[in-house]
Amino acid sequence: MYTTWRLPELKEELRKRGASLRGKKRTWQYLNFTTKKLDQALHLYESRFLTVVRSSWTEDSCFIKGFCKKTMKNLQYEVNIKLNKEGPPEESHCECPAGSGVNATCKHIAVLLYAVENMAQQKCIILSEVCTQQLQKWNCPSKKYTGTPIKADKLPRKRSVKRLLFAPYPVENIDRESYNYKVRNLVLAFPNSTMPMKQCYEPANPYAVEADHQYLNMDARRNLLNELKLVDITDADIKNIQEATINQTESKEWHLQRFSKERPYLAASPDGLLGSQTLIEVKCPYASRFKNITPNTVPYLFKENSDLQLKTNSPYYYQIQGQLYCTGRDFCNLIVYTFKDLKVIFVSRNDAFIVNMLMNLDSFYENYFKEVIFNKYLYYNYERIE
Ligand SMILES: [Zn+2]
């Protein structure tokens, strides 16, 4: 709100609230933006000159960082603002020549303040659209893809990792025209600042950090897998996860997670357990909800010597064999239920089938699933430097 107020209005407001116009100068001095600068800044903000905004909190401050494009050239300035928890800015700093110092009031800072205000009040923010945010148009499929899914072991392999170079601050950034201002600002103006230096620097590329810490007794990837309990899982861990998942589910039928101790990345949630050797799986085929259960109405079943059986190429057969593997059980009672009929189909553990399925799952886990986990939780989708 304060960014849009002109000085006379503010003085009037302060007078109304009975505040001294001389006190609290430090808090309110940011309101000394000139009208011209505010109009310029509002125009820049509405013309999408801001590219990125991020924020972080400590107990009594909020740090805002933004990138504002330069008016004439295709460059951008980094803007840092510290707000106290009541809202008013306490410190600010911009890479532009006018933005140096702990209490800079250049137009870029006003642009960022407009963005924060807009975000806080209207829950929206106007940022410049980069090409990656627009939907790509060159290979939009004209119709739905109906082919069979590709088998995991037929997917192309990732290329091998080459030697990595340690570059916490990329050369492109050092070569930027504004880099000298940035260093000067950081070195000269920030000794008096309470802005954390961490806020002023871009995070290092995690690939580089990983390569620079080879003295650790475990590499970062293995450490992450360990923390996610994907390498070893103890009975206590399993119990904890089971208890957590039971409390989470609000639905009446809670699912009990069963983990494979051999392969902690595999888990199953059978619908029920019966005795020590049998588990229960329930299916209610919606399309046949008013019909009798036959191979015609329920296509994943077939008849053998007047007994109904589950087809071994059905996805449910994979599901049930997976559950039998994870729980270490030998039998499953598959209950198929419609409003008109109920059938129990007996499925036994098929070890040859399980071995084959595990081979495919291991291959998928090693070649694809792990990579996705690393990108998401270790490299934060940063690009690899080579
Ligand atoms: Zn500036």
Distance 305 CA to ligand 1 centre (A): 82
Distance 105 CA to ligand 1 centre (A): 8
Distance 40 CA to ligand 1 centre (A): 12
Per-residue pLDDT, averaged over 154-176, amounts to 60
Show the tokens assigned to 134: 């627009």
Q: How far apart are CA 246 and CA 257, in angstroms?
A: 9
Ranked by mean pLDDT, the top range of 19-33, 116-130, 245-259, 333-347 is 333-347
> Which position has the higher pLDDT, 8 or 158?
8
> Which position has the higher pLDDT, 58 or 364?
364
Element housing 49 (H / E)? none
Q: How far is CA 137 from CA 27, 338, 340, in A?
A: 49, 45, 49
Instruction: Point out the least confidently predicted range of 15-24, 273-282, 290-299.
Output: 15-24
Q: How far apart are CA 116 and CA 191, in angstroms?
A: 26
Distance 189 CA to ligand 1 centre (A): 14
Assign 347 a pLDDT band (cuts: 50, 70, 90): very high
Residue pointed to by tokens 């923390």: 227
Task: Report the share of the chain in percent with pLDDT over 70.
Answer: 70
pTM tops 0.95 = no
Distance 278 CA to ligand 1 centre (A): 69
Mean pLDDT of the chain: 79
Q: How far apart are CA 269 and CA 259, in angstroms?
A: 9
Distance 96 CA to ligand 1 centre (A): 4
pLDDT single digits (tens) 55-97: 888 888 889 999 998 877 777 888 889 988 877 888 888 888 7
Distance 31 CA to ligand 1 centre (A): 16
Residue 28: per-residue pLDDT:
47
Distance 248 CA to ligand 1 centre (A): 48
Q: How far apart are CA 130 and CA 67, in angstroms?
A: 13
Q: How far apart are CA 373 and CA 381, in angstroms?
A: 10
pLDDT at 19 over 70: no
C-beta of residue 311 within 8 angstroms of C-beta of residue 300: yes
Q: Which of 344, 348, 326 is nearest to 335 (CA)?
A: 344
- Residues recorded for the chain: 386
Residue 386: per-residue pLDDT:
54
Residue 177: per-residue pLDDT:
74
Assign 23 a pLDDT band (cuts: 50, 70, 90): very low
Distance 59 CA to ligand 1 centre (A): 27
Residue 161: per-residue pLDDT:
47
